[in-house]
A and B are shown apart, each in its own frame.
Chain A
Amino acid sequence: AQSVTQPDIHITVSEGASLELRCNYSYGATPYLFWYVQSPGQGLQLLLKYFSGDTLVQGIKGFEAEFKRSQSSFNLRKPSVHWSDAAEYFCAVGAGAGNNRKLIWGLGTSLAVNP
């Protein structure tokens, strides 16, 4: 069955420190992979996506993610975290086709940033 696992429910980092949020997926074909960010009380904003090609993808706000097929992972990274990065981060895999396109969501990782 298709699934997405985000092993870390909550992460706290200091401002300026590097960040890595983990995401593992289970999907039979080449996946469409996404990272979304959600600030409190807001909708979700796409950070980056992987469809094919270069396995290191760059996103908005200085984020990047690397697709590793052998590990079924799509981890999100940022070299230096800013206080404004505190938010909920969701990894998702695109599933279905035709008129049944959906996103399979991970449970999310809550990021806190210490000053």
Chain B
Amino acid sequence: DAMVIQNPRYQVTQFGKPVTLSCSQTLNHNVMYWYQQKSSQAPKLLFHYYDKDFNNEADTPDNFQSRRPNTSFCFLDIRSPGLGDAAMYLCATTKGTSGGGNEQFFGPGTRLTVL
């Protein structure tokens, strides 16, 4: 089945130690999103890629970076995680065509713990 895969599902890192979260998709969608979701809150969009074009949200801290080496893969890099970065990180994809609306397909998420 076509899907969005996130690895790892659970990640523990130390304060200030860089961490990379991975997302892959078999849907061949050209748009990929990264969200941060804290407990009992709505997902907060960090940034997204439309093909290779990177779109950063204005309020996303510089500590968060992303890479998209090809259509299938997208990475979230947190350069110096702080305690406030502990959250669920969700990857989503959509088909960026005019007739497709904005339906997004989500991965299961990576739960990040910062010690």
The docked-state distance in angstroms from the alpha carbon of A103 to that of B66 is: 19
* Chain B contact residues, CB within 8 Å of chain A: 4, 6, 31, 40-43, 45, 48, 50-51, 53, 55, 88, 90, 92, 94, 96, 98, 101-109, 111
Q: Given that A90-B42, A100-B55 are known contacts, is A43 also in contact with B101, CB under 8 Å in the complex? A: no
Cross-chain contact B109 with A42 (CB below 8 angstroms): yes
Q: How far is the CB of A12 from chain B (nearest CB, A)?
A: 15
Q: How far is the CB of B56 from chain A (nearest CB, A)?
A: 11
Q: Given that A94-B101, A99-B53 are known contacts, is A44 also in contact with B43, CB under 8 Å in the complex? A: yes
Interface size bracket, A side: 20 to 34
Cross-chain contact B102 with A103 (CB below 8 angstroms): yes
Give the contact stretch, choosing among A66-74, A78-86, A104-112: A104-112
The docked-state distance in angstroms from the alpha carbon of A106 to that of B105 is: 17
Q: What are the 4 A-B residue pairs with the smallest beta carbon separation, nearest first?
A: A94-B102, A99-B50, A43-B106, A105-B42
Cross-chain contact B98 with A105 (CB below 8 angstroms): no
The docked-state distance in angstroms from the alpha carbon of A96 to that of B55 is: 13
Q: Does A29 touch B at the CB level, under 8 Å? A: no
Cross-chain contact B103 with A43 (CB below 8 angstroms): no
The docked-state distance in angstroms from the alpha carbon of A45 to that of B6 is: 15
